[in-house]
Structure 1
Amino acid sequence: MGKSCCQTPETDPSVHNNPRWRLILWIALIANAVMFVVEIVAGVAADSRALQADALDFFGDAANYAISLGVAGMALAWRAKAALFKAATMLAFGLWVIGYAVYGLAVGSSPEPQTMGLIGTLALLVNAAVALLLFRYREGDANMRSVWICSRNDALGNIAVLAAALGVFGTGQAWPDLLVAGIMAGLAIWGSSEVFTQARRELAHG
């Protein structure tokens, strides 16, 4: 096999200073910041927990891309420490969304499916484009992998938001919106565990 499961490949530091990698991070950062504003406004207007959760995910990802730019070119140990911080933010996001979905279930909500569908489609297009740009870096160190996982989870989350919009439209009830918010929380927690595991291995080898 080309790569043992017990080994942690150290990405060439020059990759992190590669102009293409840094440009992609800047594109991802700006796209996520813009979509945070769009989705948080639309989520509040549509009373959609799934859209609001996705908006906060965009905000968290924009911050993560900024951190990745900050540690680009540093030693593996520093990049791994940055990845640990990002894993913690992904976990916090997941736990917050679970709590918010439970709150919505308790107090009730009336999500507007048309707005959910329109904004969800826009978010999917943005995240799919970013994920395609980052695809070649998905097997890098924990810092690079965390960026890829964020984008992958975002695209999956957007598909789930569209499914929630269809569910709300078809049933006339709020539970599909709350269910998707819970699924997005699960994706965040799962992604954080992947990044945390790899970052710990890199710290041990660094």
Structure 2
Amino acid sequence: MAEHAGAPKTATAFYRRRLALVLLVTLSVAGVQVVGSVLSGSLSLLADAAHMLTDSAGVAIALGASFLATLPATAARTFGYLRVEVLAALINGLILCVVSIVVLVEALRRLGQPVEVNPGIMLIAAVIGAVANLISLLMLQRGQRESLNVRGAYLEVLGDLLGSIAVIAAALIIWVTGLMWVDQAASILIALLILPRALSLLRDVVEVLLEATPRGIDTEQIRTHLAAIPGVIEVHDLHAWTITSGVLALSAHVTVRDDIWNDRDVHAVLDEAKACLREHFHVDHSTLQLEPSGHRRAGPQSHR
């Protein structure tokens, strides 16, 4: 049996160590916030702790997916497990949606029943959480632009940071005014901060799963570039999609002049087309079918 080449290095793989550090920090701070919530009686702090525990699971999923994505391709899975990272981002987005809805419902249920809280303990636990989240956010700042999987973890940490800031503000207000309902209001704010980011992540994941043209890729511009290669008549059946974050793919039929085909100069055309896609559009994985001008037949199965 022939040996399969290793899977391409995904964008997430470059940030695996940082994901592991973020996981450790998130778990530690979640523990601190759970203890702080029990001691202070704060619902908003408990909501933030629950969010951080959920995020820990999300980061763990992202980390595990980054390892699975490096497994080599096989005859049954020609792209290997690269899409596992996208599925992990999908799970993270769904978890974020569920957590935000649960927190919102619970906060609304308790809004008319304010509970006595200790703002001092609440403030200390929230500040510890904010500092830890800020450190984690900085570690993932660059990677979230390159990987959907890392972006899922980044958005979760960002939601944690905003949640911690909301808890800090609530603790200070309670300390100064004694208004206990502010704790429930902060819980509602945390839920409303989480939900839009979760929906944004899910939208991006759905685009990948529907094999939509990747953002930043202009298929008409690609068509124009390829058609400008000497000997090329037209480009049709052009498709571009994302396999996983950082791994783009493209396929197209390229019609060349008959004299180019007969003189076997198609190799030079193919090399130039591949180089064009790689240098101008950063597409390394392309499948181009070159064909003579007399090959194409118009019909109902013809695609642009």
Fold match (TM-score > 0.5): yes
Change (3 A) 1:126 1:162: same
Task: Tell me if structure 2 keeps the 8 A contact 1:49–1:104.
Answer: no
1:56 aligns with 2:62: no
Q: Residue in 2 aligned with 1:46?
A: 40
Which TM-score applies when normalising by structure 2? 0.61
- Rounded to whole Å, the distance in 2 between the matches of 1:189 and 1:151 is 13
> What whole-Å deviation, never above 9, does each CA across 1:138-160 have from its counterpart, x for those lacking one?
21232121111111111111111
1:51 deviates by 0.5
Higher normalized contact order (CA 8 Å, seq sep 6+, divided by chain length): 1
Aligned length: 193
Q: Which has the higher helix share?
A: 1
Q: Map of 1:1-206 to 2, 5 A cutoff?
A: 13-18=9-14, 21-72=15-66, 74=69, 75-205=81-211, 206=243
8 Å CA contact retained: 1:113, 1:169: yes
Normalising to structure 1: TM-score of the pair?
0.88
Deviation at 1:57, TM superposition (A): 0.9
Map Cα deviations across residues 107-142 of structure 1 (whole Å, 9 max, x no partner): 331121111111111101100000001001121232
Structure 1 residue 204: Cα displacement: 1.5
Partner of 1:6: none
SS at match of 1:17: helix
The one-letter amino acid of 2:43's match is R
> In the aligned structure 2, how far is the partner of 1:13 from the partner of 1:145?
17
**1:77 touches 1:202 (CA, 8 Å); kept in 2?**
no
Query: Is the Cα–Cα contact under 8 Å of residues 114 and 181 in structure 2 kept in the other structure?
Result: no
Match of 2:115, SS state, is coil
Match of 2:266 in 1: none
* Deviation for aligned residue 1:13: 3.5
Structure 2 CA distance for aligned equivalents of residues 71 and 192 of structure 1: 19
Q: Give the % identical residues.
A: 25
